Amino acid sequence: MALIIMVLLGLLACDAVGAATIYDTHYLLSNLTKDYNVNVRPAVEQLLPVNVSIQMYLKSIMEFDERQGTLSYTVGFEITWKDYRLMWNSYLYGGVWYLNVPLTMIWFPELLLSSPATSRSYITQSWSKARIYYDGFVLYVEGALIESTCEVNVKYYPFDVQSCNTSFISLGYTYKDVNLMWVKESIDITLYPGNSMWDLESTSVSVQTVATGGGQQEMFVTFNLRRKPGYAIVNVLLPILFLGILNAFVFLLIPESGERIGYCITTLLAIAVYMTIIMSSLPQSSDPTPLINYKLLIDLVYSALIIVAVILNMRLNGKDDDVPVPKILVSFYLALMCRACGGKPVRPASNGFTADQNATSSNESSSKLQESDIPDYSPVNSVDAQKVTWKKISSLLDISFFVLFVFLSFLIFVVFISILKSGS
């Protein structure tokens, strides 16, 4: 008999739980808000703080503006605390075990963004709603677009790593009144789909007590972002390399064309314009200064040196052949040409052929001629010097300058990339 009675009571309880009506909810809400003061902290011992737990869910990183020093992202906040005044027995109210109420009807901790980049700084909104459970726990969920300031360091652009801090405070309360606690030591990125320009390497959260203001607590959320360099490599670094190499091709132009100076100045202006474009997209900071600015400055100096080399070489090319070539330039020319022909001296033979051509003819006419029978020519004599003209000196300098400046372009670029990679 006792077992039957217990079963009947259980069935009646189940029916009661599932029989909640609008009148039960209305009656419950009236009882909870009766004599409720939203200005009183929900702590039985008023000398103890209210524990407020916070969890942040990252949804997306909207924009990171290096020039303005701002970071925009969307997040969801899950804030919970316990209010002993909002407890009830659900069986007395038809089984109602939670209520959704506006924040204006209950006490709630006001979170303020203390590092705002815009005028919107309040995280908790008074028109939002919170969910109250029968045991007194209050759950408040809010989505927000955070626009925070960020200290930008683009020294190693485009291989830079940025660390952005966003700070929040509980408005009007010290750590003795409200104790802010993070559920986890990092942001939940389960809903984060990624960003096309930045890799989110890690996140961290912490709570610190500020010495000023009576001991107010401040929460810090840190984003560690690494730039994806693919776009900058294709649109910034490679054009810089190509401009530097293209600049050296001026030495392959024929001096008689009259286009050399125009070509050099055009390339110099292209580098200057490109420098202006890149600097306009980066923060105007002296500490630290982006290394890419120094690279472009070196390219400008490099281009100016090419212009000077072209002008001086054109003066050599335009000299009259009656003007004697200095011995040092003759020696330089003959030394390079001697290396170019395999180390053999370059001078005309008596029959109008060179010594190499005479040796080749002798080999064809006599099959018995041994290699040891080929005469060992003496060093270059005055006949060679008489064949060196200013135009030949100018032509040799063109090729030498071309090789030198192309090599310098590659060397400077490789050193620059190595410094960026090692620094990042």
**Rounded average pLDDT over 149-178:** 89
> What is the rounded distance in angstroms from the CA atom of residue 197 to the CA atom of residue 200?
10
Q: What is the mean pLDDT of residues 227-242?
A: 90
Beta strands at 178-182 and 50-65: parallel, antiparallel or unpaired: parallel
Confidence at residue 386, expressed as pLDDT on a 0 to 100 scale: 53
Sheet of strand 111-113: strand arrangement: 111-113, 161-170, 217-227, 198-209
Q: In 346-389, which residue ranges form alpha helices assigned H by DSSP?
A: 355-365, 382-387
- In tens, the pLDDT along 178-198 reads 999 888 888 999 999 999 899
**Do 249 and 212 lie in a common domain?**
no
Last residue of a domain, one of 183, 212, 228: 228
pLDDT score, position 358: 45
- pLDDT at position 125 is 76
| Cα–Cα distance, 408 to 245 (Å, whole number) | 9
- Mark whether 275 and 160 lie in a shared domain: no
Shared domain for 48 and 165, answered yes or no, is: yes
Q: Which of 198, 228, 258 is the last residue of a domain?
A: 228
Report CA-CA distances (Å) from 46 to 49, 54, 85, 236, 282: 7, 22, 14, 61, 52
Bridge-partner residues for 61, per DSSP? 73
Alpha carbon dihedral 21, 27, 29, 34, in 10-degree steps, equals 180
The answer to whether residue 371 sits within a structural domain is no
Same domain, 92 and 207: yes
**Predicted local distance difference test score (pLDDT) of residue 57:** 94
293 found inside a domain: yes
Q: Is 373's pLDDT higher than 80?
A: no
Residue 208, domain extent: 22-228
Whether residue 30 is contained in a domain is answered as yes
Residues 43 and 63 in one domain: yes
**In a domain? residue 140:** yes
Q: Which of 174, 198, 228 is the last residue of a domain?
A: 228
- The lowest-confidence range among 285-294, 303-312, 331-340 is 331-340
With pLDDT > 70 as the criterion, what percentage of the chain qualifies?
Answer: 83
For residues 223 and 93, membership in a common domain is answered with: yes
Say if 254 falls within a structural domain: yes
Is 383 inside any structural domain?
A: no
Higher-pLDDT residue of 282 and 179 is: 179
Q: Which long-range contacts (CB under 8 A, 24 or more apart) does 412-420 make?
A: 412/244, 412/295, 412/298, 412/299, 412/302, 413/237, 413/240, 413/241, 413/244, 416/291, 416/295, 417/237, 419/291, 420/156, 420/157, 420/158, 420/159, 420/291
The first and second tokens of residue 268, run together, are 């110099």
For the chain, the domain total comes to 2
For residue 392, what pLDDT is reported?
A: 86
| Over residues 203-223, mean pLDDT | 84
Q: Kindly state the average pLDDT of the residues 283-287.
A: 75
* Measured distance CA(151)–CA(116) in Å, rounded: 13
| 83 domain residue, yes or no | yes
- Distance separating alpha carbons of residues 324 and 346, to the nearest angstrom: 19
Domain shared by 133 and 237, yes or no: no
* CB atoms closer than 10 angstroms to residue 211: 8
The secondary structure element, H or E, covering residue 239 is helix 238-248
pLDDT above 80 (res 2): no
Please indicate whether residue 87 or residue 335 has the higher confidence score (pLDDT).
87
- Residue 215: which region, alpha, beta or left (left: phi > 0; alpha: psi -120 to 50)? left
Indicate whether 365 pLDDT > 90: no
Same domain assignment for residues 198 and 268: no
Both 260 and 214 in one domain: the answer is: no
Q: Are residues 175 and 304 in the same domain?
A: no
Asked whether residue 337 is assigned to any structural domain, the reply reads no
Tell me the C-alpha distance between 116 and 169, whole Å. 12
Q: How confident is residue 377, by pLDDT bands cut at 50, 70 and 90?
A: very low
- With cut-offs at 50, 70 and 90, classify the pLDDT of residue 1: very low
CATH number at residue 276: 1.20.58.390
210 and 288 in one domain? no
Mean pLDDT of 2-13: 39
Same domain? 165 vs 62: yes
Domain of residue 44, CATH code: 2.70.170.10
